[in-house]
Amino acid sequence: MTSAALPRKIKKTTVMSCIFSTISHTYHYHTSREVILNLLKNFTAGIVAVGLAGGMATAAHAFECKVKDASMAKPGGFPDRPLTMIVPYGPGGGSGQVAAGMAKAVTELTGVDINRDHKPGGSGTVGMTAYMAMPTDGYNVLEHIDDASSAHALDSSKPHPGKDLIPLVISQVTFSQIYIRTNEDRYTDWPSFVEWVKKQGGKATIANVSKEGSMERVLMKFITDESGMEIQQISFDKGAPRYGALLGGQVDALFEQPGDVRKFLDAKQFKPILTLYTERPAAFSGVPTHMEMGMKFEPLYRFRGFYVHKDAPADRVEWLKWAFQRGYCQDSYQKFNESKFMNVIDSYRDTNGAIKLINDSIDQYRAVYKSMGMDVK
């Protein structure tokens, strides 16, 4: 994975000073300005390396299959029965959808069925705990997201997704947006939304994930600090209840990634009012970015991938790497990714690229958690 420079119009010093101002306004430090600036300098550089790596662009990313072998012999007949895929989130959200898409692609490629077992709860911790207790014979695989990296960054006793697990493939990297109901009449765009929220005295609500320190929560902290608004974050572990809460009017807005709510966008039920990205993606050319709205922080990105336990037999691991990385190349999976706006960013990372992405993410989150005064273990 290679790093890319910041866009010309964004200066690193501006980003650093803005984040410093944001954090120092919100948290009370007993640390010198120089120490914090050095910390944030490293944090900002890390975000740029991960967030903009892999050729992010506003145009659709040109797909090229990196796995040239169209087939691979099964080691010792493995697998001779279906695989089990643990999914630490509900079936209606982004993880459920990508798990279904990849399982279909691998089965098409290999003829091996994959049974998906959803174990939501604790922002992925329930599923991770269940997976780590399963047999390590290679028949059990795990879908997980960047929450696994942020969890380890906050508490090093949690599994390290690049050491305790072996990444088979990262198959999605995406940006986030804020949505309202299309028929909403109290506000229609980001400026009017911020204006309305500020008048609510802290009673306005936005649906989000429950895990403190997650990508979503960190970004919302940056957003509220830099826009000067106070909004309650209503927690949901599963995607479907989050979306239902917005549809039903139980919350005023939703923080999510566009691919996860594609059907609501196509049905014109949800309307994006803010994109957390460095430029306007072509698919959302009418939606302003946070930077256009005066917020200068570098966005964090959601990534999803598939893993196997580090103690799985080596020959089985190699077959699983091939199956999932070549599965990424299947027409069905590419069409799925395109339908989820995953061709805006180069979503593919092989095992080595995934490990680098994970390690960089852990370093980033650990730095920002420390700067926010969180108890990093």
Task: Encode the chain (377 residues) as per-residue pLDDT tens digits.
Answer: 333 322 333 333 333 333 333 333 333 333 343 443 344 434 444 443 344 333 344 445 567 888 988 899 999 999 999 999 999 988 877 889 899 999 999 999 999 999 999 998 887 889 999 999 999 999 999 999 988 998 999 999 999 999 999 999 999 988 999 999 999 999 999 999 999 999 999 999 999 876 677 888 889 988 999 999 999 999 886 778 899 999 999 999 999 999 889 899 999 999 999 999 988 988 899 999 999 999 988 888 889 999 999 999 999 999 999 999 999 999 999 999 888 888 887 889 999 999 999 998 898 888 888 877 888 88
Question: Is 278 in the same domain as 222?
Answer: yes
The answer to whether residue 168 sits within a structural domain is: yes
pLDDT at position 32: 40
Question: Is 187 in the same domain as 169?
Answer: no
pLDDT at position 300: 83
What's the CA gap between 58 and 280, in Å, rounded? 7
Question: Closest Cα to residue 368, out of 40, 93, 143, 137?
Answer: 40
pLDDT at position 211: 67
What's the CA gap between 40 and 18, in Å, rounded? 10
pLDDT at position 139: 98
pLDDT at position 29: 36
Q: Residue 221 sits in which domain range?
A: 176-284
Question: 115: Cβ–Cβ under 8 A, 6 or more apart, which residues?
Answer: 82, 83, 84, 85
Question: Is 193 in the same domain as 214?
Answer: yes
The answer to whether residue 65 sits within a structural domain is: no
Question: Is 119 in the same domain as 202?
Answer: no
pLDDT at position 23: 38
The answer to whether residue 269 sits within a structural domain is: yes
Please give the model's pTM, rounded to 2 decimal places: 0.72
* CATH classification of the domain holding 202: 3.40.190.10
Question: Is 218 in the same domain as 360?
Answer: no
In one-letter notation, the amino acid at residue 251 is V
* CATH classification of the domain holding 115: 3.40.190.150
Q: Which residues pair with 114 in a beta bridge?
A: 83
The answer to whether residue 25 sits within a structural domain is: yes
What's the CA gap between 228 and 205, in Å, rounded? 15
What's the CA gap between 267 and 372, in Å, rounded? 39
| 191: its two tokens | 């400026």
In the chain, count of helices (H) and strands (E)?
12, 10
Residue 8 CA neighbour count, 13 Å, CB half = 0
∠ Cα 83 335 265 (to 5°)? 110
Number of domains into which the chain is organized: 3
